[in-house]
């Protein structure tokens, strides 16, 4: 079997001396969507931070495209092709939409960012209309589009999203999921944490149910949706 495009393998670590993750493993293949679900406080955001290098792991490793990147800083991981949209504070509210996108391209010096910005505007047309408006004036769903667009500006091969649909209506959630599917189809791997577990697993190639920092269930999205115990305990029946 070939190695997944990204794997955070057997990750153990937390904040200070307290471990939050206990041998947690998360993986995603090229151009596929992997979804992490689980109760509040399970360690989902912590697992994302660990994969992105914001956490010192006491055990385990992170490998991207066959390379061990466990020792790299978040900024070095961005250069390797990772994009991360955190759960909170993921845009600059006083800056315009366009300035947010320009900030997203911070690691790019040599080439033309205009083309990538066009791709972001093609994906999220509303952002083009509002490009000169402060991002803080946008609706919740539009702000999440800015955050995703900003992460796309580095042209990542892996896009990590921590609760991209938090606080948005069901219709806006469906639209965001459609855009996420579109991004994956363009060849970008997606690793996503979602509170809307059922809907997220419907679009997931791979799903992970995390409980207290460990893998409780790992399977295809469809298999998890069909599993009676997963349904009863984590999907509301
Ligand atoms: N910066 C931090 N310092 C210390 N402890 C933290 C920190 N961030 C999170 N924790 C703790 O780690 C545990 C897991 O938190 P985490 O944010 O990873 O959960 P989560 O699964 O993302 O939850 P939610 O669904 O509410 O977003 C919690 O007990 C939390 O209190
Ligand atoms: Mg979280």
Beta carbon of 45 within 6 Å of any ligand 1 atom: yes
Helices (H) and strands (E) in the chain, counts: 10, 10
Classified as helix, coil or strand, 218 is: strand
- Does residue 11 contact residue 58 with C-beta atoms inside 8 Å? no
Rounded Cα gap, residues 153 and 83, in angstroms: 9
How many angstroms is it from 153 CA to the middle of ligand 1? 28
User: From the CB of 44, is ligand 1 less than 6 Å away?
Assistant: yes
Is any atom of ligand 1 closer than 6 Å to the C-beta of 49? no
**CB of 88 shorter than 6 A to ligand 1:** no
Is residue 116 within 8 Å of 187, Cβ to Cβ?
no
Confidence of residue 26 (pLDDT cuts 50, 70, 90): very high
CA 22, distance to chain mean position in Å, is 21
* Residue of 146, 176, 157 lying closest to 66 (CA atoms): 157
Q: Determine if ligand 1 sits within 6 Å of the CB of residue 40.
A: yes
Domain borders along the chain are 1-81+189-237
pLDDT in tens, 48-103: 999 999 998 999 999 999 999 999 999 999 999 999 999 999 999 999 999 999 99
Given a cut of 90, is residue 1 above it in pLDDT? no
Location of structure tokens 């979804």: 35
Does the pLDDT of residue 110 top 70, yes or no? no
Degrees (nearest 5) of the Cα angle 30, 217, 186?
Answer: 20
Q: How many CB atoms lie within 10 A of CB 1?
A: 3
Pairing status of strand 33-37 against strand 206-211:
parallel
Instruction: Read off the pLDDT of residues 183-235 as tens digits, 9 standing for 90 and up.
Output: 999 999 999 999 999 999 999 999 999 999 999 999 999 999 999 999 999 99
pLDDT digits 0-9 by tens, 133-167: 999 999 999 999 999 999 999 999 999 999 999 98
The CATH code that applies to domain 1-81+189-237 is: 3.40.50.300
Q: Which residues contact 77 (CB under 8 A, 6 or more apart)?
A: 52, 53, 64, 69
Mutate to test the pocket of ligand 1, among 8, 18, 41 (most ligand atoms within 8 A of CB): 41
pTM of the entire predicted model: 0.96
């Amino acid at each position: 079997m070939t190695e997944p495009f990204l794997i955070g393998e057997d990750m153990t670590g937390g904040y200070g001396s307290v471990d939050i993750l206990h041998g947690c493993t998360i993986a995603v293949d090229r151009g596929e969507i992997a979804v992490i679900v689980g109760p509040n406080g399970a360690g989902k955001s912590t697992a994302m931070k660990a994969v992105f290098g914001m956490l010192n792991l006491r055990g385990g490793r992170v490998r991207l495209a066959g390379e061990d990147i466990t020792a790299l800083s978040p900024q070095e991981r961005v250069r390797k092709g990772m994009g991360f949209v955190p759960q909170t504070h993921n845009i600059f509210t006083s800056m315009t939409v366009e300035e947010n996108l320009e900030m997203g391209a911070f690691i790019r010096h040599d080439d033309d960012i205009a083309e990538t910005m066009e791709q972001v505007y093609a994906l999220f047309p509303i952002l083009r209309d509002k490009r000169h408006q402060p991002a803080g004036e946008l609706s919740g769903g539009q702000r999440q589009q800015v955050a995703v667009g900003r992460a796309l500006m580095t042209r990542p091969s892996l896009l990590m999203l921590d609760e991209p649909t938090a606080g948005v209506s069901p219709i806006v959630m469906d639209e965001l999921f459609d855009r996420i599917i579109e991004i994956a189809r363009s060849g970008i791997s997606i690793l996503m944490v979602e509170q809307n577990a059922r809907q997220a697993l419907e679009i997931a190639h791979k799903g992970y149910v995390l409980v207290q920092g460990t893998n409780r269930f790992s399977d295809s999205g469809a298999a998890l949706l069909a599993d009676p115990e997963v349904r009863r305990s984590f999907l509301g029946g």
